[in-house]
Amino acid sequence: MFLQFLAQEWLLAAALLVTVAMLLFHESRRAGRTISPQQAAQLINRHQAVVIDLRDAAEFRKGHVVGSMNLPFADLKARMGELEALRGRPIVLVCRLGQTAGSAGKQLAAAGFDPVYRIGGGITEWQHQQMPLQKR
Residue positions annotated with a catalytic role: 95
Under 8 Å between Cβ of 115 and 33: yes
Under 8 Å between Cβ of 123 and 64: yes
C-alpha 114 chain-centroid distance:
12
- The DSSP code sequence of 49-61 is PEEEE-S-HHHHH
The contacts of residue 5 (CB under 8 Å, 6+ apart) are 13
Binning the chain into helix, strand and coil, the percentages to the nearest 5 are 55, 15, 30
